[in-house]
Amino acid sequence: MPDEPPISVEHLKAALTITADVLGRHHVKYAVIGGMAAGFRSQPRFTKDLDFLLQIPQLALPAVLEELVRLGFSVDVPTAIREWTQEHMTVLSYHGIRIDWLKPVIPAYQHVLDRATEEAWLDHAIRVVSAEGLILLKLTAFRLQDQLDIENLVAAQREHLDVAWIQTEWQSLAPLDDPRMLRFLEILQS
């Protein structure tokens, strides 16, 4: 298996800002999620991809994708449209940077998108998932990196977290005695 080329921080920043600018110009409701958002809401950490939660009208999708292609993104537009409509997600690329787009297909994820806020970041206005929304998403996936991100988010945002909102939304996904929620509550107490 050949080695992957190193990720360029400049390409990562460009992928983030260009995507946010294009989505904003097309009035697409979106939020940066994943490692990049975790770093913004807590402490910076290395990530080699970008993740977006977005709600885009079907008729607007081709124009958005075509504009991104004109700006240097790699995506097969017909395939991306098919994936978006059938699988509720698609993947784009920018100079080797993977960019995942996820559709909020369950109500809790739509609520996460609704709570995202516009932030000044890298000299751009970029919508970023709230700390609570990010914790909810991280609880759902609950990989090792997600657990570390939750710990960092709690450490950075402890006094401001709306724990009741997280628990209410979690109950639409799993019971409050689910091991993931119990671990989150332990982290809050530590």
How confident is the model over 150-176, as pLDDT tens digits? 999 999 999 999 999 999 999 999 999
Q: pLDDT by residue (tens digit) across 39-50?
A: 999 988 888 999
For residue 3, being part of any structural domain is answered with no
Q: pLDDT by residue (tens digit) across 134-143?
A: 999 999 999 9
For residue 2, being part of any structural domain is answered with no
Domain that holds residue 107: 9-189
For residue 181, being part of any structural domain is answered with yes
Taking a C-beta distance cutoff of 8 angstroms, is the pair 43, 149 a contact? no
Taking a C-beta distance cutoff of 8 angstroms, is the pair 68, 92 a contact? yes
- The pLDDT of residue 8 is 86
Buried b / exposed e across 101-125, counting CB within 10 Å, b at 16+? Answer: bbbbeeebbebbbebbeeeebeeee
Which portions of the chain are predicted below pLDDT 70? 1-5
**What is the C-alpha separation between 127 and 21, in angstroms, rounded?**
10
For residue 44, being part of any structural domain is answered with yes
For residue 147, being part of any structural domain is answered with yes
For residue 38, being part of any structural domain is answered with yes
Total number of domains constituting the chain: 1
Taking a C-beta distance cutoff of 8 angstroms, is the pair 15, 7 a contact? no
For residue 1, being part of any structural domain is answered with no
CATH number of the domain where residue 134 is located: 3.30.460.40
**What is the C-alpha separation between 156 and 153, in angstroms, rounded?**
5
Smallest CA-to-CA distance from 156 within 133, 188, 124 is with 188
Q: Rg of the Cα trace of the chain?
A: 17
For residue 171, being part of any structural domain is answered with yes
